[in-house]
């Protein structure tokens, strides 16, 4: 990659000397019981006259702020989003998590969603709910959308953190299917994608979403992204191979790119040590952007 990325093999992150605020944050970060211990809080809505209203939670604080972009058909209440929110609260930085249209508590019909519409949701959140430079943390599909946001709002996006970033992966996976299966999907208007991440065991993906997503592929040419980029990926990811993060690193024009491979990491990156690594990565970027 001609120096475009430094590949860092890490089974554990280096120990640090924590200040009092960061020490409080580590007491909150990454523990599976954390979300269950939380008081349920009501969410706010971003009203949009011509588009579905988006549910969100927002913390006011210092810049750079942090915005979490969730994965495919996921929501803003996952362990990674909540741990990042707790960290930002402990150190006084702004934070936003939200649900795409058709997902979680946001309005809209998921069957009518497309990647382009979710891209608009991300840009609306950046434009309406944030001020100043932001660090985008994109998980899976959110890692694809964060690349689009960085291109569309270069003055707003100060850094990117991809967590098992799934750039182009929906399209590339579909294109590798047998011709007979693709014909069947086209006729039925739906692709049943096997998954271990829900009770049904499948994701029902509208064929129209796949078609439209082809217009938003990003790995076919250089990406005019000049900010720092950190790409965290698990080698045991069975959904999106870690080589996808390598491809992203090759395409972005920024030279400040790190690929962090977790030998024991899976796609969701939701274990305690996974989440601590994500927090450490965001912390490093905050320090870098604040000096």
- Catalytic residue numbers read 140, 237, 267
- Beta-carbon neighbour count of residue 99 at 10 Å? 23
**What count of Cα atoms within 13 Å lies in the side-chain half-sphere of residue 43?**
19
- Beta-carbon neighbour count of residue 2 at 10 Å? 6
How far is Cα of residue 265 from the mean position of the Cα atoms in its chain? 16
Tokens, residue 240: 């999106």
Query: CA quadruple 51, 53, 54, 59: dihedral positive or negative?
Result: positive
For residue 77, what are the CA distances in angstroms to 41, 43, 100, 203, 235?
Answer: 11, 11, 12, 19, 25
């Amino acid at each position: 990659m001609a120096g475009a990325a430094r590949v860092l093999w890490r089974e554990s992150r280096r120990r640090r000397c924590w200040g009092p605020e960061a020490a409080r944050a580590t007491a909150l970060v990454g523990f599976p019981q954390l979300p269950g211990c939380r008081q349920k809080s009501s969410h706010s809505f971003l009203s949009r006259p011509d588009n579905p209203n988006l549910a969100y939670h927002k913390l006011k604080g210092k810049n750079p702020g942090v915005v979490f972009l969730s994965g495919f058909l996921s929501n803003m209440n996952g362990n990674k989003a909540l741990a990042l929110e707790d960290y930002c609260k402990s150190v006084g930085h702004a934070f936003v998590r939200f649900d795409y249209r058709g997902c979680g508590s946001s309005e809209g019909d998921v069957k009518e969603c497309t990647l382009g519409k979710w891209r608009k949701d991300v840009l609306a959140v950046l434009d309406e709910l944030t001020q100043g430079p932001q660090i985008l943390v994109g998980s899976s599909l959110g890692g694809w959308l964060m690349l689009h946001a960085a291109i569309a709002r270069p003055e707003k996006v100060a850094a990117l953190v991809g967590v098992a970033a799934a750039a182009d992966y929906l399209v590339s996976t579909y294109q590798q299917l047998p011709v007979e299966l693709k014909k069947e999907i086209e006729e039925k208007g739906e692709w049943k994608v096997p998954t271990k991440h829900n009770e049904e065991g499948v994701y029902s993906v509208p064929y129209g979403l796949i078609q439209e997503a082809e217009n938003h592929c990003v790995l076919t040419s250089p990406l005019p992204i000049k900010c720092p980029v950190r790409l965290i990926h698990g080698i045991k990811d069975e959904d999106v191979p870690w080589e996808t993060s390598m491809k992203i690193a090759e395409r972005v024009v920024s030279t400040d790119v790190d690929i962090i491979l977790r030998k024991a990491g899976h796609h969701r990156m939701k274990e305690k040590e996974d989440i601590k690594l994500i927090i450490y990565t965001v912390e490093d970027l905050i320090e870098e952007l604040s000096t």
